Amino acid sequence: MRSYIAHKAFRRQGGQVYTTDYGLDETFTLLFKRLPFPLAQSAMTKIDSAILAGYLQLEWITPERFARTKSLRIKFQDKPQISFTDLSSIAVIEELAIPLVMTGDAHFTHVDINLQLVPS
C-alpha cells in the first residue's frame, strides 16, 4: 500500500515513471506465473496502454546499454545477487540521471550510485 500511495503522490507532482523492456519481461513473466491467464492478459494490456498514453516511459536496452550493463556486472563482481536485469536498470538510471527509484528491491542500495528509494 505504501508503494501505491508513493506512486500516486509522485504522479501528482508531475513525475515521469520509467521502465525497461527487461523490467517488463520480468513483470509479464511474474503476472502469467501467478495469476489466472485472463487477469494476467488484462494487466499486460493495461501496461501497454499506459506506455502508449505516455503514462509509463519504456526505455529499451540498446546494444550500448547492454554493453554498459556488462561493465556494471564486472564492476559489481562482489555482488553476485544483483540480477543482470537490475544492472540494466541501473545503466538506464545513470544515463538518464533518474534520482528516484520506486522499488522494494534492496539491490539498488548495494551499489555506489546516488539514489533515493521510494518508498524509503
Which residues, including other chains, have CB under 8 Å from residue 32's CB and lie 6 or more apart?
40
For residues 95 and 60, give the distance between their C-alpha atoms in angstroms, rounded to a whole number.
Answer: 12
Find the mean pLDDT for residues 99-112: 74
The helix (run of H) or strand (run of E) holding residue 67 is helix 63-75
Q: List the CATH code of the domain at 2-118.
A: 3.40.50.1010
Identity of the amino acid at 28:
F
- The Cβ of residue 86 has, within 10 Å, a number of other Cβ atoms equal to 23
Of the segments 7-21, 38-52, 104-118, which one has the largest average pLDDT value?
38-52
pTM over 0.75: yes
Q: How far apart are CA 118 and CA 101, in angstroms?
A: 6
